[in-house]
Structure 1
Amino acid sequence: MAKKKSSRIPAERFISECAEITEFLEFTISNNASDKHISWAHEYAIMKLYREFEQMLLECLIAGLNRNTSALSDYQGFEFPKNLTDEVCEYLIIGNGYFDFKGQKEIVNKCKRFVGENNFLTTVLKDPSYKDTLNKLLALRNYAAHDSSQSKKRALDSIGAQRIGTAGSYLKTQGRCQSIISEMRSIAQRIAEEAPY
């Protein structure tokens, strides 16, 4: 039988990625980049952070589903086999589409559906102290990526403001990007510490 997946490994990888994103921003700022280029660097940083978080979360869900299908069986109303391949687990989670979510509530609902209410991953991600950071990450990433009026409105809602220039111009001031990175790192650290596998 194949070795079961771990949730610690993707969480630890995400922590390393957070450090590399921080290093990238520090390098950009310390090399006398223009204000515009620093804004672009912060937009790239938030998109990279989101992408790495998305990958970590998907891998943690695959690991959880790979080990225990009971939550999904309860949700769907029929019994899934106990042993599913990683590829089958991934397909059950994302189907023919892609893995995405709109905020903390949707992240928690996906966790409940695939790994259950009492799984460590659900417990960590539903922590109310992470709501603000997760929602800012998602909204600012979408604004950086799409620059649409709808994404701008969601970004404004997430930061509680009336005006915003670009996602990068917001993120580069007052340590906002680094604050999000630090908080996301602490989420991953909790996942790595609390993961039983």
Structure 2
Amino acid sequence: MTQQRTGVATFKGNPITLIGPELKVGDAAPDFKLNRNLLEEATLQDFAGKVKLISVVPSLDTGTCDAQTRRFNTEAADLGEHVVILTVSVDLPFAQARWCGAAGVDQVVTLSDYKARSFGEAYGVLIDELQLDMRAIFVLDENDRIAYVEYLGEMSEHPNYEQAIAAVKALR
């Protein structure tokens, strides 16, 4: 039976149910299978040996998600080639590509959880009622251990960008 977490998150003040475990600092990051496009998949192993900042957003076509992704795209320039920033949403891969092109976002790798929502479930961010991934930040070290995690309590709020970037810089 899949774990369900209630009372930990809201969307515009309304309670939502998150599916999957609450990951903690020190945990091994679960593997994932996400889509780069309709045919090509990506797994955690594709980013082996790099520090990974995983920015999870419900949909790039919303104001907070747009701002979050643009912010990490800007921050990427100062983080070096040993760091990769992944933005995960359930948007279709071509919607992600369209959004990135229109927004000029080119430093972030967008990955889609649209097929099986397995990332959302493995990382404890799948919203049962909406079938979207809840806003969250995960920073993984080069050995795929979680060094920083932030689950947002309210879906429409911004994450703590400064703490996430500081966690990445501490691992470089």
Query: Same fold by TM-score, threshold 0.5 exceeded?
Result: no
TM-score by length of 1: 0.24
Higher helix share: 1
Higher strand share: 2
TM-score by length of 2: 0.26
